[in-house]
Amino acid sequence: MLCILLGVLALHLLVFILLIVSTASSQWTVEARGHTDLWYNCHSDTQGYHCSQASNEDWIQAVQALMILAVVFCFVSLLAFAYQLFRLFKGGRFFFTSIFQILASVFVMCAAIIYTVMRPDSDKDYGYSYVLAWVAFPLSLISGLIYLILRKKD
């Protein structure tokens, strides 16, 4: 049982780190002369390297909000797991932890889908931050489903 709990905890921490890196890093889309993320658009030209804030369009603000919600819900799920690990009665399930983790996976999935559909420059390539967001989605969903079926033993 201890190995399972440590494995689930390691998976949860991995998802949390992926979500933080994906939200905060600057490589959602890349091109030869610059990159774009959720917060800034950066490019280089003959005068140097310039960054400007991301557009104020509704879709990018929705992606920003959903990614932040995914990070927050994943963190709350981690705290709920720690609390339930010590307070849950024998044979109980980690429902509260599971709900928050599954919601985090839904938020990151929605953010990635919105970014995929709405990004303005389709000639740019996707960056590693975008890929990390998509990798975090199934991992957080799997983690939430594991919490759903996991029972506490003594």
pLDDT higher for 134 or 42? 134
In tens, the pLDDT along 63-73 reads 999 999 999 99
Q: Tell me, what's the pLDDT at 154?
A: 56
- Three-state SS string over 94-145 comes to CHHHHHHHHHHHHHHHHHHHHHHHHCCCCCCEECHHHHHHHHHHHHHHHHHH
Residue entry with tokens 């390297």 = 49
Among 62, 65, 35, 64, CA closest to 51: 35
The letter for the amino acid at 39 is W
Cα–Cα–Cα angle for 51, 24, 76, rounded to 5 degrees: 155
List the one residue out of 104, 28, 92, 20 whose CA is nearest residue 60.
Answer: 28
Give 142's Cβ-side CA count (13 Å radius): 13
Average pLDDT (30-38) is 81
pLDDT in tens, 85-105: 887 777 677 888 999 999 999
